Structure 1
């Protein structure tokens, strides 16, 4: 599969401190790549270096298989982006704002109506942007990024500040782009639930270091599910199973075990029933994306 974006040892240092260190990013054609990490992890800095808005301290960037240096104009003509927050003239209408960008980028005028239609703003195009809701402004920013119907779309925290309905709209829009227009999407976020719902591949960055990169199934498989067993006498059950080499811990009213095979679950159940300890419930507790993130980074903090 073609690699649309690749970085090699991409780094950015301010003084003696690296905010991005040796990032090797790989985004395949047709992917929705979720770039995930806490605020301040280095996501925006990495995206700015990919777009040529910031010069790397070390490393290099290739987009569409070409070095950014020397191919800047060609790469940017096929790339759309929304970094941090949309820029617009509040006293002008959505359509007038779009036409300014269209002329600046020398893009066919027919693309304006197409981009507004994609983000469902065609009925509000004549309204002043200063009167737009936050969600409409965000959609206008995405429409500007889509004006050239680019091969690569880079969105930095596109759902920031939106209500649940606005987040849902942006999510459905992004999910439709690869199939509808053959776009590759690189989207950064600190909202784990959003990335889980839209991304085909994911990269996790923390303190400027890439902690994980792969598809969503690979990420979920990084953490084996816990087995939770509830009995009528958890204290006695824990003593019995500890003698047999198991190391459960308490969570609420159950005993929790780490990575167990099916055979081990059968063995535990037999041991408990043989000792006349009633087993009330055995359940598998799969970890969510946030738990896996915290496990990978070793950080006891939420995003």
Structure 2
């Protein structure tokens, strides 16, 4: 897979404090890359550096295999973005706003019509934007980002403030961009549930540092299931299992063990039964993605 975005030790410091520190992103062609982190984690600052809106303190950015600092205009001509909130003229209609962007991008009329259809605004295109709902304004902002059918789309919190129906519409739109239009999408969010449903790859940032990067499957592999046993005498069972090189801990009336497969669980059960200890319950507990996220970012990192 070709790499569309690559950063090396990308950092931004304000005064003596880093808000982004040594971030190494790798976004593959055709991916929906979910950039996940709590509010204030450094997501927006990172995206702004990718677009040249903020100058990095250290590090480099490569897009489409080219150094951004030397090929800025060429790269931006193939990139669409929506950062923080859409920009628009409220006294103009949606179509009139798109015409303004059309002149800036120098694209034909048919592309205006096409992107308004893609974001499902064709029926509201003649309404003034001040009369749009928040979801319609977000879709207009995405339409502006898609107008020139870029190879790369960067969206910063595109579902922020939307109701469930609006979130669903934006999610469907984002999922369609790679396979229908060949676009690569870099999407930031503080909502794990949204990233989980649309992203093919994920990067988790917290305190300005990239804590994890990889596929959803790789993130799930960080989840080591635990086996919880409840017995007739947990303290005695714990001592017996320690003698056979198992290291259970007592927690909430259970013996908790990690890294056990089916055979090990069966052997543990036989060991306790042969020692005369009844086993009342065997449970397997797996962390949710939310739990993994919190374990990576710390309990203070709200979703």
- Secondary structure at the residue paired with 2:18? strand
Mapped to 1, the partners of 2:127 and 2:276 lie a distance apart of 74
* 8 Å CA contact 1:12, 1:19 repeated in 2: yes
Mapped to 2, the partners of 1:164 and 1:225 lie a distance apart of 32
By how many angstroms is 1:16 displaced? 0.9
By how many angstroms is 1:188 displaced? 0.6
Mapped to 1, the partners of 2:292 and 2:122 lie a distance apart of 41
Q: How many equivalent residue pairs?
A: 302
1:54 has 2:25 as partner: no
Mapped to 1, the partners of 2:40 and 2:73 lie a distance apart of 29
Aligned to 2:159: 159
By how many angstroms is 1:284 displaced? 2.4
By how many angstroms is 1:66 displaced? 0.8
- Secondary structure at the residue paired with 1:227? strand
Mapped to 2, the partners of 1:300 and 1:73 lie a distance apart of 40
- Secondary structure at the residue paired with 1:293? helix
* 8 Å CA contact 1:12, 1:57 repeated in 2: yes
Aligned to 2:75: 75
1:249 has 2:250 as partner: yes
Q: Where do 1:113-132 residues align within 5 Å? A: 113-132=113-132
What RMSD over aligned residues (CA atoms) do the two structures have, in Å? 1.9
Q: TM-score, normalised by structure 1?
A: 0.93
Q: Where do 1:126-141 residues align within 5 Å? A: 126-141=126-141
Mapped to 1, the partners of 2:8 and 2:91 lie a distance apart of 43
- Secondary structure at the residue paired with 2:35? strand
By how many angstroms is 1:278 displaced? 4.2
Mapped to 2, the partners of 1:300 and 1:277 lie a distance apart of 41
Distance 1:195 1:249, change over 3 A: farther
- Secondary structure at the residue paired with 1:52? coil
By how many angstroms is 1:139 displaced? 1.0
Aligned to 1:265: 265
Aligned to 2:66: 66
- Secondary structure at the residue paired with 2:106? coil
